[in-house]
């Protein structure tokens, strides 16, 4: 059995992190959702982490989700230790959350320089930023952003495999 590949799923409140891990996980997800004490537009929010696992070929994949609320940001560093990649989820119809997403991305990649993918959820909404527009906002190559419906298994798998491609590309760059 290969050693587990750890991925971190982060992003602002309501981006779809818990849903994404639930959609992908083969095991019951360890979730720490509690009733939100502030009005964040939904009833439940993650206060510590989400943890889910799946197998891809012979590789166990560990998915660690962070809380979205900034007051729980002390968890980010802990959860990122030893991670191979970061999937940053962001709701494409909530541009007011983009600055926070940028802070998360900068914080994590400064502490732990790992490959990242920006997955833009809620592409089915009427007024929504496309992955290309979001990559421009972040000032990154368009290949580092994709669309995602966190509720949909196929879409979630496509995002996961895109992340693996980026991890492989970065590993071969380091060898070259
Ligand atoms: N319409 C639509 N809804 C989505 C999509 N992806 C996720 N959702 C919904 O968005 C909501 C996201 O909620 P969560 O998964 O709890 O979000 P979270 O990022 O874990 O939030 P916190 O833990 O509070 O930071 C859920 O109701 C999902 O069903 C999408 O692509 N389109
Ligand atoms: Mg959550």
β-partners of residue 31 are 50
Q: What is the pLDDT of residues 79-138, one digit of tens each?
A: 999 999 999 999 999 999 999 999 999 999 998 899 999 999 999 999 999 999 999 999
What is the DSSP code (8-state) at residue 99? H
Please give the class, per CATH, of domain 5-175: alpha beta
pLDDT score for 132 = 98
pLDDT at 148 over 80: yes
Give the per-residue pLDDT at 130.
98
Contacts with 8 (C-beta within 8 Å, 6 or more apart), sequence order:
64, 65, 66, 79, 80, 83, 85, 86, 87, 108
Which residue has the CA at smallest separation from atom 30 of ligand 1? Answer: 122
Listed by start position, the domains of the chain span 5-175
Average pLDDT, the chain: 94
Ligand 1 pocket test: pick from 49, 150, 159 the residue with the most ligand atoms within 8 Å of its Cβ.
150
| pLDDT of residue 69 exceeding 90 | no
Could you tell me how many helices (H) and strands (E) the chain has, helices first?
A: 5, 7
CB 132 within 8 A of CB 120: no
18 lines ligand 1 (CB under 6 A): yes
Is the CB of residue 124 below 6 angstroms from any atom belonging to ligand 1?
yes
The predicted model scores a pTM of: 0.96
């Amino acid at each position: 059995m290969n050693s587990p590949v750890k991925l971190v799923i982060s992003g602002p409140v309501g981006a779809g992190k818990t849903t994404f891990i639930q959609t992908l996980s083969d095991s019951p997800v360890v979730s720490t959702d509690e009733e939100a004490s502030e009005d964040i537009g939904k009833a439940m929010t993650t206060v510590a982490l989400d943890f889910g696992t799946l197998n891809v070929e012979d590789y166990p994949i560990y998915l660690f989700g962070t809380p979205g609320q900034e007051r729980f940001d002390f968890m980010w560093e802990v959860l990122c230790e030893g991670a191979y990649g970061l999937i940053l989820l962001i709701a494409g119809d909530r541009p007011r959350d983009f600055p926070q997403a940028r802070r998360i991305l900068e914080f994590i990649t400064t502490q732990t320089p790992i490959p990242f993918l920006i997955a833009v959820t809620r592409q089915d909404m009427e007024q929504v930023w496309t992955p290309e527009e979001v990559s421009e906002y972040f000032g990154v190559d368009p290949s580092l952003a994709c669309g995602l419906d966190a509720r949909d298994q196929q879409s979630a798998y496509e995002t996961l495999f895109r992340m693996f491609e980026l991890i492989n590309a970065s590993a071969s760059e380091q060898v070259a």
